[in-house]
Chains A and B, each alone.
Chain A
């Protein structure tokens, strides 16, 4: 089955810095890659996603890039703010049921 590796497990940045979280996947058939943000005591919230026919997608301060050849994708957050502090999960899924396989999560801490 699919295996998703996510790094780093913890990321500490100063407010205003950029943050990058990287994931790799194993199944070349995976074609949908969502990113979720989970705040303390809440469920994961979909923040951005990318499909395999696209190399990059941007939404305000967040962007995701996908390299299908290397089977890795990344989340980029610019101008980080304290409210960006949370656990971020990447996931990979493929057509059929689109059941995601999640990475282990990255705890992002933004210091004011």
Chain B
């Protein structure tokens, strides 16, 4: 158990809908990272937050957004969902005093199915 929690574990929704995925980092970790894992694209970095502020952005679509709250939990919002958004979404956290850190610890993921 990495100490990172994610809810829900599974999510099934229809095209065009909006969903919110939630992540709680390990106790004391200030950085949260979001990743998308699909069969055709592999594990892709989406976005990083550090202590409430966006720190780095990867291959994140404009339909997707994220935020980190004062209690350090993070939410990933996916809107106008398409079939191709079906994937596993992982959150990871790391201990850092500056927003840059080596080791990342992954949560169990949320499996999103868009029908």
Q: Give me the interface of A with B, judged by CB distance under 8 Å.
A: 32, 34, 36, 41-46, 49, 51, 89, 93, 95-105
Contact = CB atoms under 8 A, between A and B. Distances in A.
Interface string B66-100: 00000000000000000000000010100000011
Nearest to A93: B102
17 contacts: A32-B102, A42-B108, A43-B92, A43-B106, A43-B109, A44-B43, A44-B106, A45-B2, A45-B106, A46-B104, A97-B100, A98-B102, A99-B58, A100-B45, A102-B44, A103-B42, A104-B42
Contact of A34 (B45, B56, B103, B107): B103
A99 B90 contact: no
- Which has the most chain B C-beta neighbours within 10 Å: A32, A51, A95, A98? A98
Contact of B56 (A44, A51, A97, A105): A97
Interface residues of B, number: 24
- Which has the most chain A C-beta neighbours within 10 Å: B48, B58, B104? B104
Chief secondary structure at chain A's binding surface: loop
B90 A98 contact: no
Nearest to A97: B56
Interface of B: 2, 4, 33, 42-45, 48, 55-56, 58, 90, 92, 99-109
A98 B100 contact: yes
A41 B108 CA distance: 7
B105 A105 contact: no
B44 to A, nearest CB: 8
A43 B103 contact: no
A42 B107 CA distance: 8
A41 B100 CA distance: 28
B100 A43 contact: no
A75 B90 CA distance: 24
